Structure 1
């Protein structure tokens, strides 16, 4: 097994590499000089797994989350060390892909709180605690609404309104993201159709929904999409799915095959956070996409570094050549807007144009643009 071989090559001959089951491995390092030496090994492991694997002639990328625990006198049994290493691993997962975390005792309190949040998360759908807000995607020059992106909020009864980054990693780890994502698809399609009916002459209202890695791996996704569209009576072309660049690039060939299946439904596909992780310009023509969203880091740095302005210009030029729409994320200043116009970017999203809106406010914005107030003329 190639993963096991790479792990073995990252440690000393006397160290132990063992598979715990599934995709979990444990490394036992004896007679180490201290934490710094263990951290060096963790970095070597991450580096060794960063290179792509070839699986049946296809390029596959994987990453690891590593939990580190040092042996202490209070550990009486091996399973106690494994438990704490597991806690550290889950903290590493929350930090993002391809990183490691050293255990400390405060993580046990975190694990207790996490367990409580997981229980609440399992009940949240039944309690109808999730809500959708909608941020406009606009024509940069005119400010007119092109589409809305559906953004999830959790109105937690015991806490407050939680933002996605505060609970979606846990939903992804537990698999709850699949049922939550199905709900989001259905609600987003329903709102789009409701607005279309409520605003005469509005035509199909475009709606955009984020899809996670776990959802993409779910074999029911295509059926869930069809059901959401059919139940709402929404034309498939009005729905866009946003998938992050990092998720698509993990396994290039399988991602392309999956996107082709999704395209058969008739929906639009957009690559989110483009440029945030990989230099995927060369791969872009292989994906069956209709649009890309330029990562906000490029937009924010356009004024500070000319190279970032030229990168955005190159992305826009390539997208135009490929027949893709380009949406700039995180537009916050008039200067950013002017520079985006100068490089030919037609669509944008960010606080300069509008924050995330309640459903009724989104409907009102559509109605206002379809029927401008004559007093404002």
Structure 2
């Protein structure tokens, strides 16, 4: 029998057993995942983290006392992921993310996350691991840990406006994975779902944590800038199956363990231990292939490097040091015209293309006139 583990299947089974499903549950009722958080509302409040009104034990659905439909109400928004919830930090009013971690299932997650949030590493620009503000256990639940992190968004939401914006994203991701590997940590699940961006400057008035296209009150669109106007930092999240190795272990091997990306060549029909760092190289390369090369126009310049990163033989993939060096060469070879060109979705029809190209050119002319760089750069 293969020893290969499918993490998604395990988690899905555990969540089904613990929290069930929200299918067919009326909006005025909490699903089992939400009940878990509501039952800890007071304890989290005492720790300084206030959950949204929906999870208060005294909650009364707002649509019951108004003329609104539940779909238009802030408290009608149900959690997307049962392990993660948003809260307001009462000390300063900042909205943060809380993650429930079962220490028995993921014994290394908190330690690795805190390692990269340590004083020695947190301030280093190349560090793109999600910051962790605090980790604590719940009363009477020694195996349950709550990790406090900033509120983030998926890395490709909102859409990229220009090639230059995407190039800066690639640079940060390569830099971040190189940083992790330099510190002997293999992420082991750094696919697109586990890449996020800091929306602080991009969305100055923030957004609703669940209905992310809406503002905080769910009564209008969440207004935002482009990444060219407000550069963003990208982060890797979810260290549930990550591992940290001693520097003396120069050639670690791990039994295959499935993350979110099911395309890893060395995991197919094999349970032989393999190099987790080479698998990371595949993951990040495959994320760029799937989200850009296959879905957008204009990224042909990335094809040769990505092809090397995702080749079947992990021994032939470049190390992240080499990938970073090669990407730097590619970036320096791109013209200003290329960098300022629009990111075009392959599914756009002619009407969409005309409308979006027109608005893009208006922005582009303004950016050039004001001397705004084609590749956004984070403030130093």
TM-score, L = length of structure 2: 0.22
Tell which has more relative contact order, 1 or 2 (C-alpha 8 A, sep 6+): 2
Question: Which has the greater radius of gyration?
Answer: 1
Bigger strand share:
1
TM-score, L = length of structure 1: 0.22
